[in-house]
């Protein structure tokens, strides 16, 4: 194995570790909706996701969105959506990668951000209402 090949393998290994230990859920699916990869955060936060698959609440909305938008499979597609799972709200960044028919889902918890925004909106509404 030459030094370039060793370097490529080392880089691949570091990238896999980055995804696996990322604190945010990462899920890869094929176009049939089968889970190809799920990182530690996703397995921890959604313990039934592997067993339930595409019917899991955090993925079922994704399937509905893909059916609605019907990407043609030739264009790299990006969209985002919020999905609620129990008391938490997650923003999903969804990437459809046509070169290898992969759907990449990156999620992060926006529950606290949404609560903070609601408080700020309430304060602003109160201030405007009482300062007319």
Q: What CATH number did the domain enclosing 73 receive?
A: 3.30.450.20
How many domains does one find in the chain?
A: 1
Q: What is the CA radius of gyration of the chain?
A: 19
Distance CA 8, CA 89 (A): 37
Q: Give pLDDT tens digits for 24-57.
A: 999 999 888 899 999 999 999 999 999 999 999 9
Distance CA 26, CA 19 (A): 7
Q: Which two tokens stand for residue 64?
A: 């509905």
Average pLDDT, the chain: 87
- Section 5-10 average pLDDT: 80
What residue numbers bound the domain in which 74 lies?
3-130
Beta bridge partners of 108: 91
């Amino acid at each position: 194995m030459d030094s370039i090949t060793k370097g490529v393998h080392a880089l691949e290994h570091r990238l896999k570790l980055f995804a696996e230990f990322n604190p945010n859920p990462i899920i890869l699916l094929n176009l049939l909706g089968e889970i190809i990869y799920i990182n530690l955060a996703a397995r921890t936060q959604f313990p039934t996701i592997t067993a339930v698959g595409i019917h899991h609440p955090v993925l079922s909305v994704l399937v509905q969105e893909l059916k609605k938008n019907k990407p043609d499979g030739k264009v790299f597609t990006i969209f985002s959506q919020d999905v609620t799972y129990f008391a938490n709200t997650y923003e999903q960044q969804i990437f459809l990668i046509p070169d290898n028919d992969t759907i990449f889902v990156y999620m992060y918890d926006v529950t606290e951000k949404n609560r903070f925004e609601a408080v700020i909106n309430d304060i602003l509404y109160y201030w405007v209402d009482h300062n007319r």
